[in-house]
Structure 1
Amino acid sequence: MKKISISQMPNHIGETVKLGAWVANKRSSGKIAFLQLRDGSGFVQGVIVKEEVSEELFTTAKGLTQESSIYVTGVVKEDTRSSFGCELAIDGIEVIHIAQDYPITPKEHGIEFLMDNRHLWLRSRKQHAVMKIRNEVIRATYEFFNNNGFTKIDPPILTGSSPEGTSELFHTKYFDEDAYLSQSGQLYLEAAAMALGKVFSFGPTFRAEKSKTRRHLIEFWMMEPEMAFVEHAESLEVQEQYVSYIVQSVLKNCKIELERLGRDISKLENIQAPFPRITYDDAIKFLHEKGFTDIEWGDDFGAPHETAIAENYDKPVFIIHYPVGIKPFYMQPHPERDDVVLCADLIAPEGYGEIIGGSERIYDHELLLQRIKEHNLDEKAYAWYLDLTKQGAVPHSGFGLGLERTVAWISGSEHVRECIPFPRLLNRLYP
């Protein structure tokens, strides 16, 4: 008898198979028992007809508790009523372990209770679907960059300096030196781009922001490409092609998960490059016309501002050319204006806010040194980065995509805390 996973069942219609599974839920009509089974690869219904099995087997099935682990055998049958397309007619059960008092029952639970039990909450259908979508975004990311000639580089997590200053970094001692948990691998990736041309990284980053919004995590994952000989406009094209690619990959490969989450896929089907572009100047004018009197030229956008701008479009929208004063030191100035830089934030539709921040990077040594001084950064700590502008400097650009915000948007999740397996929030380090 062949042991398979639930995800493989549609390929074995009419065959007798064996599954290792957990009992996600069960119900019984007296003559028929229905077991909702899961094994990590998917969910399926198992059916046990009392008249067709031994009394001992039926009694065993009725005695199973939520999240008990079992081996089951049975015939895979087509089920057109199910989005999965099949069910299992069970004729054998081997109990591995009977779970005791599983805390997350089918009833409603408060979010703090669920977060305290995150190690178990991950087993639920919704959380399973979100994690599958997260995995598909990661898989498609590697595929996109590998197919487009990028080399993966792994920047350090412990650093002696920061791309954006050290005010929001976690400090630690590195023997007798100060060190910080990385908020971005960008500077190291710029060095790698000078060696390999086009590079990308994917890894954890840390922000010591005391924020409790639905868009913020203390520890999150970022995709960061850097590209030599690529200017700002070219970088925007890479960004919109990349985002389009991952959205279409999720639509293709996560249909069941999107359906389980109740996601309106018509809004995702429209996500195809190119994306609209508006300047920061025009965004400020638009917000004033919409009655936002709390923002002036030179201010950064908050969540309500980004949402109002995004509502004007049915695709992600680039806001380009932000003021120098609200962006990091390394961004290339606009060639025709000294008050804005060649940068862009990509704002997702449906109120999910910024998912990408990127820019062309400064490659003139004197200007970069000036910017470092203006930001009161330690010149010695950035000596190696400055060295890049003295050894064959070229125009180059890059960006960073926040994985959890992107997954939240694509999956339709309300909060980024559901888009990472074990979220780190302002007041949460457990489990």
Structure 2
Amino acid sequence: MSEITSTAPICTIAEIGRHEGQSVTLRGWLYNLRESGKLLFPIFRDGTGTIQGVAHKAGVAPEVFEALKGLTQESSVIVTGKVRADQRAHGGFELDVEQIQVVQRVPEDDPYPITPKEHGVEFLMERRHLWVRSSRQVAILRIRAEIMRAAAEYFDSNGFTRTDPPILTPAACEGTSTLFPVDYFGEEAFLTQSGQLYIESTALALGKVYSFGPTFRAEKSKTRRHLTEFWMIEPEVAYCDLDGLLELAENFLSHIVQSVVKNRAPELQVIGRDIAKLEVIRAPFPRLRYDEAVAMLNQAHKDGHLENPFEYGNDFGSPDETWLSSQFDRPVMVHRYPANVKAFYMQPDPVDPTFAMCVDVLAPEGYGEIIGGSQRVDSYDLLKSRIEEHKLPLEAFQWYLDLRRYGSVPHSGFGMGIERAVAWICGLDHVRETIPFARTLNRMFP
């Protein structure tokens, strides 16, 4: 069909309410089409939203009606029409179609594979490059973007400087073997699992810093909470103890959630999220010592809520975190774990060195850990002995020890995985929908 000749202003669906009673031009795709005799009801999308169009056979040019009739799903179009308020319509407006240009028609013999009918998850993940066009996935990705924006905003507005650590590193941050090795000009290097060690360095230069970027973990895990590639935001603060870190974490999370509630209410509605459960996410958060949390778990076992008793001294597994976090209407901060189950760089509790000055923040509704952090060891001798105890290569950590040799101070930081935060805030069953293209144990396509 020939190009649109209208001089109507080009606008987005998100802006369409400003043009009630006026003709506008939209550029997008056909999301769906319903036909009812001489009436056509196309639904258009343009990336900012969706709107229903209306075309009556007697009210439009014959070529416009024919171009619309039978138009295939996801065909790209430029459409002009008059904006009409309608309280029954999604978004409160409809578009009375006047002209249409089909930019690319999806062929009928090779139709768009994702239809309004139900599809299995495996089918959809194989077509993730197309699945992201659906209204639910668009809403999730917009909420993800808001979470990332608000997270950076909180630190940028509170005196933090973003300093980005390297993605290629010579050694593991936490001394584990769950890293992806790469050949670095004949030497072994690894994809980073955290920027923490590096931003400890920049924190001692700038005071308050954060990093924000991709991280990688080669855990052979198939749980609904694990990805092999994910995004992490990590603050680090000089002259900050564990108490200061807890306050930072609860204010940070409160800011993110309330920003989503304020700015992404339509998207939360699309995915069916109960906003009331998010509106209560405000500081302060409940705090539990590790031993108090263990007592709760074992009482739950006695009461028949958990299958197995919890063995004191272990780290919490996913079922433990799920049950603990389900007991609260806002994140709960579990602190002071046994030092022997935590990373080598965590500061011992001065009251009882068998405990570490650390915290895991568990999201409510059973979503488990979304933040892990600690006060860091600031003594050179203690850190060196810890590295040796964990049988880590001392030469790889000499630069890290320098931070304790030259002007060491108490300092603390945490990491928050963006995808786990998205899963919780959106109320998703699986982390695979929280990122445009998930990388899991058995998936690297598309």
TM-score of the aligned structures, taking structure 2 as reference length: 0.95
Q: Are residues 1:317 and 2:324 paired?
A: no
| Counterpart-to-counterpart distance in 2, 1:334 and 1:208 | 31
The alignment of Structure 1 onto Structure 2 pairs a total of residues equal to: 431
Q: Are residues 1:152 and 2:167 paired?
A: no
Contact 1:83-1:256 within 8 A present in 2 as well: no
Shift of 1:83: 4.7
Q: What are the Cα deviations for residues 185-233 of structure 1, in whole angstroms up to 9, with x where unaligned?
A: 0000100101111111111000100111110001000010101111110
| Counterpart-to-counterpart distance in 2, 1:355 and 1:166 | 20
| Counterpart-to-counterpart distance in 2, 1:151 and 1:46 | 47
| Counterpart-to-counterpart distance in 1, 2:273 and 2:299 | 32
| Counterpart-to-counterpart distance in 2, 1:298 and 1:47 | 65
* 1:377 counterpart residue number: 392
> How do 1:1-20 and structure 2 match up within 5 A?
1-20=8-27
* 1:307 counterpart residue number: 322
Given the alignment, which residue of 253, 256, 261 partners 2:263?
253
Q: Which SS does the other structure have where 1:405 is aligned?
A: helix
Given the alignment, which residue of 90, 94, 98 partners 1:91?
98
Q: Are residues 1:407 and 2:417 paired?
A: no
> How do 1:129-208 and structure 2 match up within 5 A?
129-208=139-218
Amino acid of the residue matched to residue 105 of structure 2?
I
Amino acid of the residue matched to residue 346 of structure 1?
V
Contact 1:84-1:256 within 8 A present in 2 as well: no
| Counterpart-to-counterpart distance in 2, 1:49 and 1:141 | 48
* 2:379 counterpart residue number: 364
Backbone CA RMSD of aligned residues:
1.0
Given the alignment, which residue of 29, 39, 45 partners 1:22?
29
* 1:330 counterpart residue number: 345
* 1:69 counterpart residue number: 76
| Counterpart-to-counterpart distance in 2, 1:16 and 1:62 | 21
Amino acid of the residue matched to residue 283 of structure 1?
A
Q: Which SS does the other structure have where 1:340 is aligned?
A: coil
Contact 1:203-1:222 within 8 A present in 2 as well: yes
Shift of 1:44: 1.4
| Counterpart-to-counterpart distance in 2, 1:323 and 1:344 | 11
Given the alignment, which residue of 310, 317, 320 partners 1:295?
310
Q: Which SS does the other structure have where 1:332 is aligned?
A: coil
Q: Which SS does the other structure have where 2:33 is aligned?
A: strand
Amino acid of the residue matched to residue 295 of structure 1?
F
* 2:272 counterpart residue number: 262
Q: Which SS does the other structure have where 1:194 is aligned?
A: helix
> How do 1:215-294 and structure 2 match up within 5 A?
215-291=225-301, 292=306, 293-294=308-309
Which structure 1 residue ranges, 5 or more long, are not aligned? Answer: none
- In percent, how many aligned pairs have the same letter? 55
Q: Which SS does the other structure have where 2:133 is aligned?
A: coil
Q: What are the Cα deviations for residues 30-63 of structure 1, in whole angstroms up to 9, with x where unaligned?
A: 1221111111111111121222112221111112
Amino acid of the residue matched to residue 355 of structure 2?
V
Q: Which SS does the other structure have where 1:109 is aligned?
A: coil
- For structure 1, which segment, 118-127 or 172-181, has the greater mean C-alpha deviation from structure 2 after superposition? 172-181
Contact 2:52-2:89 within 8 A present in 1 as well: no
| Counterpart-to-counterpart distance in 1, 2:260 and 2:335 | 27
Shift of 1:152: 0.7
Contact 1:275-1:317 within 8 A present in 2 as well: yes
Contact 2:297-2:309 within 8 A present in 1 as well: no
Q: Which SS does the other structure have where 1:380 is aligned?
A: helix
Amino acid of the residue matched to residue 68 of structure 2?
A
| Counterpart-to-counterpart distance in 1, 2:262 and 2:85 | 22
| Counterpart-to-counterpart distance in 1, 2:157 and 2:25 | 38
TM-score of the aligned structures, taking structure 1 as reference length: 0.98
Q: Which SS does the other structure have where 1:45 is aligned?
A: strand
* 1:417 counterpart residue number: 432
Amino acid of the residue matched to residue 106 of structure 1?
P
* 1:351 counterpart residue number: 366
- For structure 1, which segment, 396-405 or 171-180, has the greater mean C-alpha deviation from structure 2 after superposition? 171-180
Contact 1:223-1:400 within 8 A present in 2 as well: yes
Shift of 1:82: 3.5
Q: What are the Cα deviations for residues 362-408 of structure 1, in whole angstroms up to 9, with x where unaligned?
A: 11100000110111001100000000001111111000001001001
Q: Which SS does the other structure have where 2:333 is aligned?
A: strand
Amino acid of the residue matched to residue 72 of structure 1?
V
| Counterpart-to-counterpart distance in 2, 1:229 and 1:320 | 19
Amino acid of the residue matched to residue 289 of structure 2?
T
Contact 2:328-2:365 within 8 A present in 1 as well: no
Contact 2:294-2:310 within 8 A present in 1 as well: yes
Runs of at least 4 residues off by over 3 Å: none
Q: Which SS does the other structure have where 1:223 is aligned?
A: strand
Q: Which SS does the other structure have where 1:382 is aligned?
A: helix
Q: Which SS does the other structure have where 2:415 is aligned?
A: strand
Contact 1:248-1:269 within 8 A present in 2 as well: yes
Q: Which SS does the other structure have where 1:199 is aligned?
A: strand
Q: Which SS does the other structure have where 2:405 is aligned?
A: coil
Contact 2:51-2:90 within 8 A present in 1 as well: no
Q: Which SS does the other structure have where 1:286 is aligned?
A: helix
Q: What are the Cα deviations for residues 138-193 of structure 1, in whole angstroms up to 9, with x where unaligned?
A: 11112111110111111100000121114000011111221000000000010010
Amino acid of the residue matched to residue 383 of structure 1?
Q
| Counterpart-to-counterpart distance in 2, 1:11 and 1:326 | 58
